[in-house]
Amino acid sequence: MNYTDATTEEIDIVMQEAWNAFHIYRKISLTQRAEFMRVIAKEIENLGDDLLKIAGEETNLPEARLRNERARTMFQLTSYADACERGDWLEARIDTAIPDRTPPKVDIRKMLIPLGPVVVFGASNFPFAYSTAGGDTACAFAAGCPVIVKAHPAHAQTSEMVAAAILKAIEKCSLPKGVFAHVHGAGNDVGEALIKHQFTKAVGFTGSFLGGKQLFDWANQRKEPIPVFAEMSSINPVFLLPEKLKQSAAEVAKLYAPSITMGVGQFCTNPGLIIGLESEGLQNFISALGEEIKKATPGTMLHAGIFKNYVERRANSLSQSDVETVAVAEAEAQFNQGAPTIASATGEAFLNNPVLHQEVFGPYSLVIRCKDMTELIDVVKKMEGQLTATLMATETDIQYNEALVEQIINICGRFILNGVPTGVEVCLSMQHGGPFPATTDSRFTSVGADGFKRFARPIAYQNWPDELLPDELKNANPLGIMRTVNDQLTKKKNPQ
């Protein structure tokens, strides 16, 4: 299918409609918002296997994976709907008046309100979960914001189908049409026009560093800068500690091979860098991982652009004089397939060659062999911000390496012990974000209900009579939400 890029005039109409709808949508109850999100999930389910078929054709992703991803997308919508209704995220605060204080203390109450229309740029590697009705969209709807999705050109038809499901849900819930819009744009112009539009109030993005950074810069160059949460680039370092390697090098290798190759390595949490101390244990790990990788099957990548990028970056990394190829899958990679590959280099090489710090998006992992713990810590210090970091370690390893743990905390958003970074659980405690360039703002997450807060801001009501306050802040607490009343978290009615 071919879709035409939205024109400036079309974008202007869409944004005006979103702005008008905002003032209606933001005032419907939390329950109504939640209901809307649940209906979207249902409508996506109603698209049935047709959706999986089209998505499979557009992304080359296997059916089982797409089926799981669709389930995850629906779970995001319904679990965020629950969180929306629960209302903890509103951060309702009440400080009651003390009229006889000098000067008198007035009644002040605060809660989060939505920022306004949010523009969402879907990811190529998750046609459902991080795209049209994905996490950013679900968070924005929960926060009370209309959403304008720019379809990813690599799965534009899938995006159209999901957009239609959202529009159906809007109709069923009798919401204004402007609560959601879907536009196409193969080039940069559409994105730029969307970000620079006066009625755009925030941006969600998942994709490449270059793409995300460009949106961030455009947003900050506006007369009125707006927040951009762009999840961009991460090589997700894995640290193999000595005792752990001594005990179970082969098991660690067996755990990691599928994490490196699953989904043809096209995950933002793919472990692209594995770091250990030069030792027999590390050599055993490298050999065992190499054997696993040789047996791996090359998979077809998402689209020609990503394939080309993988081929080039992999070749660039492997061609560095200080990098040696450890293993490549023995089954030959066909055109558009990513060849699972493991390479290796010394800690010194990593410290001196910035090419080795770059993400190779695909089934590629580089093992760094450090000569001692001092060099390994230097390697961490040289690293940029990451979505995740992983320790493969015994408790003794950790107790003996406090300085390393401290350094790793500086650079990551999620810190995994004895596991793999791939697989991002959808729950409140998830942090899917991290220091730049993993994301543009490490204070937020794009997975879990805390992601709503990217799209909301506090407003304080001072000296308002109870009956004119929003329900969330009324004395009687009619919504039954948790609120901080005079510094104490409680569901109680305001005692006054």
Catalytic residue positions, numbered: 231, 268
Judged by CB under 8 A, the chain residues 176 through 195 that form the site for a second copy are none
Closer residue to a second copy (CB): 90 or 162: 90
- The DSSP annotation for 410-474 comes to HHEEEEEESS-S-----STT-----TTTTBS-TT--SSSGGGGGGGEEEEEEES--GGGS-GGGS
Of the candidate residues 225, 305, 478, 480, the single one contacting a second copy (CB under 8 A): 225
Least Å distance, CB 170 to a second copy, is 21
Q: Does 244 bind a second copy (CB under 8 A)?
A: no
Select from 10-18, 28-36, 246-254, 430-438 the region that touches a second copy (CB under 8 A). 430-438
Q: Does 418 bind a second copy (CB under 8 A)?
A: yes
Closer residue to a second copy (CB): 7 or 410: 410
Burial of 352 (0-12, 13-18, 19+ CB in 10 A): exposed
Of the candidate residues 11, 430, 474, 494, the single one contacting a second copy (CB under 8 A): 430
Select from 6-14, 303-311, 324-332, 421-429 the region that touches a second copy (CB under 8 A). 421-429
Element (H, E) at 274: strand 273-277
Residue with tokens 């999840």: 231
Select from 127-135, 144-152, 318-326, 410-418 the region that touches a second copy (CB under 8 A). 410-418
Select from 176-184, 204-212, 240-248, 448-456 the region that touches a second copy (CB under 8 A). 448-456
Residue with tokens 């190529």: 124
Per-residue exposure over 411-430, b if at least 16 CB sit within 10 Å of its own CB, e if not? bbbbebeeebbbebebeeeb
Q: Does 373 bind a second copy (CB under 8 A)?
A: no
Closer residue to a second copy (CB): 2 or 429: 429
What single-letter DSSP state applies at residue 177?
Answer: G
Closer residue to a second copy (CB): 459 or 476: 459
Least Å distance, CB 311 to a second copy, is 28
Residue at 142: amino acid letter? A
Judged by CB under 8 A, the chain residues 15 through 34 that form the site for a second copy are 23, 27
Residue with tokens 């159906």: 168
Crossing angle, helix 63-86 and helix 30-46, to 10 degrees? 170
Of 337, 338, 356, residue with least CA distance to 346? 356
Helices H / strands E in the chain, number of each:
15, 19
Q: What are the two backbone dihedrals, phi and then psi, of residue 365, each rounded to the nearest 5 degrees?
A: -140, 140
Closer residue to a second copy (CB): 43 or 450: 450
Of the candidate residues 50, 171, 217, 312, the single one contacting a second copy (CB under 8 A): 217
Judged by CB under 8 A, the chain residues 105 through 144 that form the site for a second copy are 105-106, 108-110, 113, 115-116
Residue at 46: amino acid letter? N
Judged by CB under 8 A, the chain residues 70 through 89 that form the site for a second copy are 82-83, 86, 88
Q: Does 355 bind a second copy (CB under 8 A)?
A: no
Q: Does 433 bind a second copy (CB under 8 A)?
A: yes
